[in-house]
Structure 1
Amino acid sequence: MNFVFDIDGTLCFDGKTIDHSIVVALDKLSKDGHDVIFASARPIRDLVPILPEPFKTGKLVGGNGCFISNNEQIIANSFTPQLVTQLHTMIEKHQLTYLADGEWDYAYTGSEDHPIYNNINQSSAKNVDITALQKICKLVLFKPTQATIHALSTLPVCVTAYKSEDAIDISPLGINKVYGLEKLHIKDFIAFGNDSNDQCLFEKAYYSVCVGQNDVQKFASLTISNKDVASTIFEVSNKFLHKETQKYY
């Protein structure tokens, strides 16, 4: 069976590390014959450094589907030039701070105290002016106003709100984590997640686990606490040891 894991708030709770007990559970999953895939809001640039070594070159979905990686070969989806111009205009009009992810480098104007800034792999990528990015694959806007949200509703984009971070995540229309999995030819899967960008995973999964109390838990088969992640991976693995399983709740 394919097991798909979100990272932040699901496996990682400090932005930097995954607890050893969870790493052991992931390793056991792989050894038992399950395929382990990671699907994160982080671009591949920021996703790979946090992963246990055996999984760094595996199947990865980054940027909520904007980036797909397999065997270190990265495919990036990006906004059209026309849409980039419209987003630039909106940013300037509403005086917004942001994180714009290019194919590797990025443009960041937000606070350096924000958790998202601390997750950026600054050792391998450069913070450049947004106009220096040849392509923009994903855009995070900080402290968006209602006027901003209304303006976005008129554009062909996918918007995900992160209430706890007072930010919204914008990707090209139709791009999400399930899109990324489909590009990796993954159809049947079990999902672990914790936030609104995981709703699409929960809705498509054979079985789904929400980590922590969140609005998205209503779409999950099971809700657990942070401390139960490793044990739940073991339990669900045993139930789905064979691929010929049927969906249950």
Structure 2
Amino acid sequence: MKFVFDLDGTICFKGQPVSEEILTCLNNLENEGHEVIFASARPIRDMLPVLHSRFHQHTLIGGNGSLISQNGKLVYAKEFDQQTLTQILSFIKKYGATYLIDSDWDYAYTGPIDHPILLNVDADKLANCVSVGELRSIVKILLLTAADMEQLAEQLHTLPVVVHTHRNENVLDVSPQHIDKWNALQTLGVKAGEYIAFGNDANDISMFKHALHTVMIGNHVDLAPHAKDSIVLDELCEKGIIDRLKELAKEYRVVISR
């Protein structure tokens, strides 16, 4: 069975790396014949610091599905088309929005110097922060502040893009049209009902809709209708995740040929 994991708020918390206890549990899943895939809103470069290096060769879905890395190499990147990008940039100018804009590796940043998002950006200094005009392709846009964020969101919804609103951070997360985590799984050849998904936010809805079994961490009003199972986000959350993974590994046991 394939197990697909979101990262932030699902198996890692407050910007800290995935704990060794959870990583060991994931290794045990693989030893029992299951496959582990990670699917995050983070671009690939920002997934690496929260995953131990022994997982860097795994299948990594980044940028909400706009990027895929396998065996340590980027194998898929979906960028905004030029017309749509030009319109987004015009809205950014119109509403005085600040942003974190990602290419397949480098990024552009104009937000506040103390914005919490910076804690998760290029922690290992793997990329370059450049002007937006210097980015060779643009795969994901986070809008951090604006003169009128609500009106900006309405304008974005008129474009051929995918927009997620992260309510806790009050940011708009914009991806190219048809890009989401389920789309990326399909690109990898994964079919509906062939995987178990763990997530915590609205950007996990697409992969929850097509999973065999779903586990929500915490309680998200939009994700909850698509979750078959949930784990309370408290001090016992990691133990709950590990216990549930052990149960699911047995329930969907894989017969390994020797």
Q: Which TM-score applies when normalising by structure 2?
A: 0.90
CA contact (8 A) 2:108 2:131 kept: yes
**Whole-angstrom CA distance in 2 between matches of 1:189 and 1:179:** 14
Matched, 1:129 2:131: yes
The residue aligned with 1:83 is: 84
Unaligned runs of 5+ in 1: 244-249
Deviation (angstroms), 1:96: 0.4
Unaligned runs of 5+ in 2: none
**Whole-angstrom CA distance in 2 between matches of 1:126 and 1:27:** 32
Deviation (angstroms), 1:20: 2.2
CA contact (8 A) 1:177 1:198 kept: yes
CA contact (8 A) 1:41 1:63 kept: yes
The residue aligned with 2:13 is: 13
The residue aligned with 1:246 is: none
Name the stretch that deviates more: 49-58 or 100-109.
49-58
Paired residues for 1:178-197 under 5 Å: 178-187=182-191, 188-197=194-203
Matched, 1:235 2:247: yes
Measured at CA, do residues 208 and 84 of structure 1 come closer, stay the same or move farther in structure 2, by a change above 3 Å?
A: same
The residue aligned with 2:104 is: 103
Matched, 1:30 2:30: yes
3-state SS of paired residue (2:111):
coil
The residue aligned with 1:247 is: none
CA contact (8 A) 2:80 2:138 kept: yes
**Whole-angstrom CA distance in 2 between matches of 1:52 and 1:174:** 30
* RMSD of aligned Cα (Å): 1.3
**Whole-angstrom CA distance in 2 between matches of 1:19 and 1:58:** 17
Deviations 1:11-36 (A, max 9, x none): 11121211222112111111111000
Q: How many residues align?
A: 243
Percent sequence identity is 40
**Whole-angstrom CA distance in 2 between matches of 1:40 and 1:136:** 17
CA contact (8 A) 1:111 1:117 kept: no
Deviation (angstroms), 1:54: 2.6
Deviations 1:168-202 (A, max 9, x none): 11111100001111111122110000000001111
CA contact (8 A) 1:15 1:115 kept: no
Paired residues for 1:190-205 under 5 Å: 190-205=196-211
Paired residues for 1:217-228 under 5 Å: 217-226=224-233, 227=237, 228=240
Deviation (angstroms), 1:113: 3.0
Name the stretch that deviates more: 212-221 or 193-202.
212-221
Amino acid at match of 2:166: Y
